[in-house]
A = this chain, B = another copy of it.
Amino acid sequence: MSPRVALRILGLLLMLFSLTLVPPILISWLFADGDWHAFAIAMVITAGTGALVYWPNRRAHKELRTRDGFLITVLFWSVLGLFGSLPLMLSSAPSLSWTDAVFESFSGLTTTGATVLTGIDLLPEGIRYYRQQLQWLGGMGIVVLAVAILPTLGIGGMQLYRTEIPGPLKDSKLTPRITETAKALWYIYAALTIICGLAYWLAGMNWFDALGHSFSTVAIGGFSTHDASIGYFDSPTIEQICVVFMVISSASFGLHFAVWREKRLSHYLHDPEFRFFVSFLALLSLLSIATLLADPNYTQWKALRHGLFEAVSVATTTGFGVADFSLWPGALPFMLFVAAFVGACSGSAGGGMKVIRILLIFKQGMREVTRLIHPTAVIAIKVGKIRVTDGVAQAVWGFFAVYVLLFFLMLIGLLATGLDQVTAWSAVGSALNNLGPGLGEVATDFGEIPALAKWILVVAMVLGRLEIFTVLVLFTPAFWRR
């Protein structure tokens, strides 16, 4: 791809993104929070930069190839993450440093949901809304990325699902295919958001909270308009609505698409990833509830409510809270946190390594044991009716190994900034899995850790969000040799 084509796309993207600052301006004006100029200035800077980058390259047209997908994807998230930080710096109220604003912006767009803020309830409404919208936009981008683009790029075994989405184009031309799939995904995503928001509103949230939380629920984001997160509402109904939508939204949107297209709900029952995911969530919820029931500080009802909610919230990598699970007894905080490494289903806005990969790794591990007893047996691995090729299996292993390696490298980086081990490992895990909350010092917010640590975590969020290889491949000489 010529640099001029990249610049043209980037310019367009920035101009489009500047339009997303209109809603926060309206909210700001509606609540008269005196902060609309922050968004207006950010809008002018973003649109202006976009125009400056776009105009000289406006005629640089060229069909995009599969390979260009890597660069565009990484540019997309990096540039939007940076420009998304503008309102957070310009606004009168949180008045964040550059580091903090960038952290918060990337945390939003990558749907991680880790925050440097405290006292969110007291911030201007414009900013409170803006953070939620960042997650929603990021979530939408990720769903398109995960369903339509990454499988085509062959990232970490996701080509397994390449054939699932129908479309006339299965060759290396990206654009028409993405446009078509993106439209269908957009309808599903928007519909889910509307239903979720209405449900919240009917359950007692005001429209502002309902809107904001529907955004961050469907995006598996975890940002809230309140410090106390979902716990603020202290409503079992709202918690149950939230649990339902966290589960739906962390299932594959490719699967939702198939169900919607063929009007067959039974697809859910037959999808191996979804089945494994729901079973895993159920097991984890039961373990959490049982552990809390054994704790004298918890009533039965509270153990049930909190156990279910936190297990689902952490395991789906949403990161909403009704209680501080990091203070829970025994192995529970660790166990829930590790579940976030498994993460959500592929093709959702959720994070982690993705259920399908863990399922494949599990099946292959079983095969190795069988092989020890029957060394000459040829044992095929299947997911549902799809036979897993060696190429897919190797890609999954490669992903797993690099995930673990990067986790350790970034953990060493964080420890070097002086953080204790629990804070450091959970901060990296939270960022890499796009979860949100951590343990130790970062159980509630990431405000107090060193600036260098925040930058490492920004890198971790982007790496996790873009399935690692999308980013890593740009650092190989082979990518730049054409």
Residues B476 and A412 in contact, CB atoms below 8 Å apart: no
Residues on the B chain within 8 Å of A367, using CB: 394, 398
Say whether A416 faces chain B, with CB atoms less than 8 Å apart.
Answer: yes
How far apart are the CA atoms of A352 and B54 in the complex, in Å? Answer: 54
Closest to A420 in B: B422
**Would you give the shortest CB distance from A95 to chain B, in whole angstroms?**
32
Say whether A364 faces chain B, with CB atoms less than 8 Å apart.
Answer: yes
Say whether A370 faces chain B, with CB atoms less than 8 Å apart.
Answer: yes
- Which label, helix, strand, loop or mixed, suits the secondary structure of the A interface? helix
Residues A369 and B473 in contact, CB atoms below 8 Å apart: yes
User: Within the complex, which residue of B155, B393, B469 is in contact with A394, where a contact is CB–CB below 8 Å?
Assistant: B393
Interface string of A414-435 (1 = CB under 8 A from B): 1110100110100000000000
CB contact under 8 A between A67 and B364, given known A412-B331, A415-B334: no
How far apart are the CA atoms of A74 and B152 in the complex, in Å? Answer: 46
User: Within the complex, which residue of B67, B331, B394, B413 is in contact with A331, where a contact is CB–CB below 8 Å?
Assistant: B413
Say whether A386 faces chain B, with CB atoms less than 8 Å apart.
Answer: no
Residues on the B chain within 8 Å of A416, using CB: 330-331
Residues on the B chain within 8 Å of A402, using CB: 365, 368
Say whether A373 faces chain B, with CB atoms less than 8 Å apart.
Answer: yes
Interface string of A328-363 (1 = CB under 8 A from B): 001100110010000000000000000000000110
How far apart are the CA atoms of A156 and B368 in the complex, in Å? Answer: 8
How far apart are the CA atoms of A404 and B408 in the complex, in Å? Answer: 13
Q: What are 18 sample pairs from A and B whose C-beta atoms fall under 8 A apart?
A: A70-B372, A334-B412, A335-B415, A338-B412, A361-B401, A364-B397, A365-B398, A365-B402, A367-B398, A368-B398, A368-B399, A368-B402, A369-B472, A371-B391, A372-B469, A373-B479, A397-B400, A422-B422
Residues on the B chain within 8 Å of A372, using CB: 70, 153-155, 469, 473
CB contact under 8 A between A368 and B469, given known A335-B412, A394-B393, A415-B334: yes
Q: How many residues of A contact B (CB 8 A)?
A: 55
Residues A334 and B398 in contact, CB atoms below 8 Å apart: no
**Would you give the shortest CB distance from A352 to chain B, in whole angstroms?**
14
Closest A-B pairs by Cβ, 6 of them: A368-B398, A331-B415, A397-B397, A331-B416, A331-B412, A361-B401
Interface string of A305-344 (1 = CB under 8 A from B): 0000000000000000000000000110011001000000
**Would you give the shortest CB distance from A142 to chain B, in whole angstroms?**
19
Residues A395 and B412 in contact, CB atoms below 8 Å apart: no
Say whether A246 faces chain B, with CB atoms less than 8 Å apart.
Answer: no
**Would you give the shortest CB distance from A257 to chain B, in whole angstroms?**
25
How far apart are the CA atoms of A331 and B411 in the complex, in Å? Answer: 8
How far apart are the CA atoms of A414 and B334 in the complex, in Å? Answer: 11
Say whether A374 faces chain B, with CB atoms less than 8 Å apart.
Answer: yes
**Would you give the shortest CB distance from A315 to chain B, in whole angstroms?**
14
Say whether A380 faces chain B, with CB atoms less than 8 Å apart.
Answer: no
**Would you give the shortest CB distance from A448 to chain B, in whole angstroms?**
18
Say whether A405 faces chain B, with CB atoms less than 8 Å apart.
Answer: yes
Residues A374 and B478 in contact, CB atoms below 8 Å apart: yes
How far apart are the CA atoms of A374 and B391 in the complex, in Å? Answer: 13
- CB neighbors of B among A420-462 (8 A): 421-422, 424, 439
How far apart are the CA atoms of A400 and B334 in the complex, in Å? Answer: 21
Say whether A375 faces chain B, with CB atoms less than 8 Å apart.
Answer: yes
User: Within the complex, which residue of B373, B395, B405, B411 is in contact with A476, where a contact is CB–CB below 8 Å?
Assistant: B373
Residues on the B chain within 8 Å of A414, using CB: 331
Residues on the B chain within 8 Å of A63, using CB: none
CB contact under 8 A between A401 and B364, given known A330-B418, A412-B334, A416-B331: yes
Residues on the B chain within 8 Å of A411, using CB: 331, 334
Say whether A390 faces chain B, with CB atoms less than 8 Å apart.
Answer: yes
Residues on the B chain within 8 Å of A400, using CB: 397, 400-401
Residues A394 and B368 in contact, CB atoms below 8 Å apart: yes
Residues A408 and B338 in contact, CB atoms below 8 Å apart: yes
How far apart are the CA atoms of A415 and B335 in the complex, in Å? Answer: 9
Closest to A470 in B: B372
Residues on the B chain within 8 Å of A401, using CB: 361-362, 364-365, 397, 400
Q: A365-B398, A368-B398, A369-B473 are in contact. List 11 more A-B contacts (CB 8 A).
A: A331-B412, A361-B397, A364-B394, A365-B402, A368-B394, A369-B398, A369-B472, A372-B469, A373-B476, A390-B390, A397-B401
